[in-house]
A and B are shown apart, each in its own frame.
Chain A
Amino acid sequence: MSEKYNEIPMAGNIIEPGNSLKYKTGGWRAERPIHTDETCLWVKNGTCGRCWIFCPDNAVVLTEKDGKHAYAYNLEYCKGCGICANECPTQSIHMESESK
């Protein structure tokens, strides 16, 4: 935030919805999730998705294009809580220390 006093909206209102995207929470992470495509049910047939549903930070990115399912993490926001690794029914995700 580097606006001058007269550039700030009246009464300090926040006029842009969802602008917290500018605040990256990835720096909080002590452990990063590592995903393997081989056993993942989303990659296999586009089902499950428990990691996506239960990720508090919307850091799991599931995409579908021409019947192919891709899996990725948005590490700019992932806080490394490990919910995805814990909820994965096929153990396709494990957590690895960031200091490695």
Chain B
Amino acid sequence: MATDNKPAVSIKDMIKKDRILNSGHRMCAGCAAPVVIKLMGMALRGPTIVCNNTGCLEVATTIYPYTAWNLPWIHVAFENAAAVASGIIEATKVMHAKGHFEHEHVDVIALGGDGASFDIGFGAISGAMERGHDMVYMCYDNGAYQNTGIQRSGATFMGQETTTSWAGSVIPGKLERKKPIAEIIAAHKIPYVATVEPSNYRDFITKFRKALEVEGPAFIHAFSPCPRGWRSATGESISLSKLAVETGLHPLYEVINGEEWIMSSASKNLKELKPVDEYFKTQGQFKHLFKPEWADFRKRIQEQVDHDWELLKKRCGVE
């Protein structure tokens, strides 16, 4: 398995690294989640166990009698990957002490979609972060419960249409704002929190490796476009992810010990945000926002995004 100790960030190193997720998985064409997992694999440093919450990734990569995973992998329920990971960490320690397990340290990674992380499993994550287990929790955020039929979640953007926030004559999609999950987890004062997305892949791999290396819990919020739910072209997934950074909808930053905020990669180099309309235009789930009656609502979204961006810049000490 992935025993090479350096993270692979150049293409020549990447193609030599063992893949952790095989072909033949049944994620939709154009889904960015397998790319997120591939990049995660580039950052691994040794024996690793993956715990997966229920979600697209869990369902579509392990359809019986097949599994796409080349790593030890466990799924228990929708909400408890963080709790399962806590158990595994403690169990491997005890088993090693008793001589039943060869490795002194195993990297334990918990994975969840946005539904499992923002809503259903939030308590389990919060608990695991508070108890301080040495794990990495990664949330791949595709903006809704895509697996069960595109229902709204805490990660759904304002104005986004889902099957439980239909846009019509009464409401323009979801009315509430997106839960700032990375900020909430950072408020637990854990050693490392970072936001990533696949198109800035070097930044992704470096941050994931940092998350593995810190002592104590780390949280990664990865943006992961979903062509099926977003009504976008399958080939555009990675460029949409890039656009989300450029429009300020998914800024890239790190938070160390809940105190030191650092703007990173593409977000740091951004002179000014692109208008969110550019992002909305690319997807069917936002097309209702361009009707004249929702022009004011669209303006409100832009103001909200600008406000959040200014606040983040202030926190990170960026002019």
Q: Answer whether residue A32 sits at the interface, using C-beta atoms and an 8 A cutoff.
A: no
Determine if A83 and B67 form an interchain contact, defined as CB atoms under 8 angstroms apart.
no
Q: How far is the CA of A76 from the CA of B26 in the complex (A)?
A: 13
Give the residues in chain A near B237, CB-CB below 8 Å. Answer: 81, 83
| Contact (A14, B62) CB under 8 Å given A58-B19, A62-B15 | yes
Q: A35-76: which have CB < 8 Å to B?
A: 42, 46-49, 52-59, 62, 64, 74, 76
Q: Are A18 and B22 in contact (CB under 8 A)?
A: yes
Nearest CB on A from B222, distance (A): 14
Contact A12/B30 with A64-B12, A83-B238 known, Cβ cut-off 8 Å: no
Q: Which of A17, A59, A83 contacts B23 (CB 8 A)?
A: A59
What's the minimum C-beta distance from B189 to chain A, rounded to whole angstroms? 34
Of B21, B23, B70, B234, the contact of A82 (CB 8 Å cutoff): B234
* Interface membership of A91, Cβ < 8 A: no
CB-defined contacts of A55 to chain B, threshold 8 Å: 35
- Please, which residues of chain B bring their CB within 8 A of the CB of A85? 235
Docked CA distance A25–B63 (Å): 13
Could you tell me the distance between the alpha carbons of A56 and B224 in the complex, rounded to whole angstroms? 12
Name the A residues within 8 Å of B35 (CB-CB).
53-56
Nearest Cβ in chain A — how far from B18, in angstroms?
10
Question: Which single member of A20, A28, A83 contacts B22 (CB below 8 Å)?
Answer: A20
Asked if residues B38 and A19 are in contact (CB atoms below 8 Å), the reply is no
| Cα distance A29–B28 in the bound complex, in angstroms | 11
Question: Which residues of A are at the interface with B, using a C-beta cutoff of 8 A?
Answer: 1, 8, 12, 14, 16-25, 28-29, 42, 46-49, 52-59, 62, 64, 74, 76-77, 79-83, 85-87, 95
Give me the interface of B with A, judged by CB distance under 8 Å. 11-12, 14-15, 19, 21-35, 38-39, 61-71, 198-199, 201, 227, 233-239
